[in-house]
Amino acid sequence: MAWDEWAELKAEAAARTEPGMRLNQLDAPAGGGGGAGGEDLVVHDDQLGKLGNMAFELRERLHRDGDFARPATFRASVDLANDGLDTGSALTEVHDAWNTQLRTLLEACAHISNHLDFSRAQHAKDEDHVVTGMRDAGGRLMSVSRINDYFK
């Protein structure tokens, strides 16, 4: 493809693109700050817990069921190889690739579960820190008007 043709294709693609298009973004609300409609990012502890539990259960099922055929597959590959068939070594390669992929998937599920548990604990600490920071010297929650003084 010639350089001129490439430049022409890029110009055509740019012309077809909607001006001001933004991906993964909302328009800024009037007055600035926050998301559309003044909604804040909300973390629901029970939802994180359910997702983490689902990842843990998936990992347990994969650990149990993903290893089901391994012993028979390995025995078959050894028997085929001992009989002088190339299929035996090919089956050994499939066996090894399956084990590698299964371990990777098990680690990913564990990582997701652990990360969600960590997020839940960190969110609880952050929430406690915010609430503690909103108390006055007597331990009472400050009023909203008092909190607004900090932002002026």
Q: Give the per-residue pLDDT at 17.
A: 61
Q: How confident is the model at residue 5 (pLDDT cuts 50, 70, 90)?
A: confident
How far, CA to CA in Å, does 43 sit from each of 14, 26, 117? 38, 19, 13
Q: Give the per-residue pLDDT at 19.
A: 55
pTM assigned to the model: 0.54
Query: For the chain, first and last CA: distance in Å?
Result: 60
One-letter amino acid of 68: F
pLDDT tens, position by position, 9-28:
778 877 776 555 555 555 65
Does 61 score more than 90 pLDDT? yes
Q: Give the per-residue pLDDT at 26.
A: 58
Q: What are phi and psi of 130, to 5 degrees?
A: -65, -45
> At a CB cut-off of 8 Å and minimum separation 6, what does 146 contact?
136
Q: Give the per-residue pLDDT at 146.
A: 57
Q: In Å, how far from its chain's centre is CA 60?
A: 19
Q: Give the per-residue pLDDT at 46.
A: 81
pLDDT tens, position by position, 24-58:
555 655 555 544 455 566 667 788 888 888 999 99
pLDDT tens, position by position, 80-134:
999 999 999 999 999 999 999 999 999 999 999 888 888 888 888 888 777 777 6
